[in-house]
Structure 1
Amino acid sequence: MNTQEAAELVKRALSEAAPGAELATLPPDADIRDVLELDSLDFLNYVQLLSDFSGCRVEEDDYPTVSTLAGGASFLATRCGAG
C-alpha cells in the first residue's frame, strides 16, 4: 500500500467514524480528535475501522501517530505496506 492509498483508507475510516466531517479542509497534521471533536469512543471507532479496512492492527501505542491524516497514512504505508 502506498501513501496515497493509505490516505484514502484513513479518510474512509474517518468519514464513517465522524459522519458529516469536512475532511477536504482538514490539515494533514491537525489532531483529528480536536478538529473533528471526536470523543474517546469515536476515536476508538476510527482506530477499529482503520484496522478493519487495512488489515493491520493498530496498537494503543500507535494512537498518537494515527491521530493525524498524515500520521495515519504514513503508519499504514510503512506498517501495512504490502496490505
Structure 2
Amino acid sequence: MKTPADIHEFSCRPFPEKIAHYHYDNDYKVLKGTKSGAIRWKSYYWVYLTTALKGKYVGIQEQGNGIWKVYYRNVFLGFFDQRNLKHKQQE
C-alpha cells in the first residue's frame, strides 16, 4: 500500500530543453511546414503532411518522373506525385 511518490524513481536520461537541428544530405530539398501542416510546392501547390509537423523542416528527395519521397529527420513519411497536386486556389 505505497503511494506513487514512494515508489517513483527519477530517470537518469538527459532531457534537452531544445532539440538539435537536423542536417539533411545535399540531395534533399528542405522545406518548412506551414501553420496548417502542409508544405508549399513551387509557390502554387500544397502538399498536406500533418499538423504535427507545423513549423518543422522536412526533407524531400526526388525519385524521378515527378515522384518525391518525404522525410522528417530520418523517418520516411511517404511519397507525393507533383503531377497530382492541389492548386492553392482550389478548395
Q: TM (normalized to structure 1)? A: 0.29
Structure of higher CA gyration radius: 2
Between structures 1 and 2, the one with greater helix share: 1
Bigger relative CO (Cα 8 Å, ≥ 6 apart): 1
Q: TM (normalized to structure 2)? A: 0.27
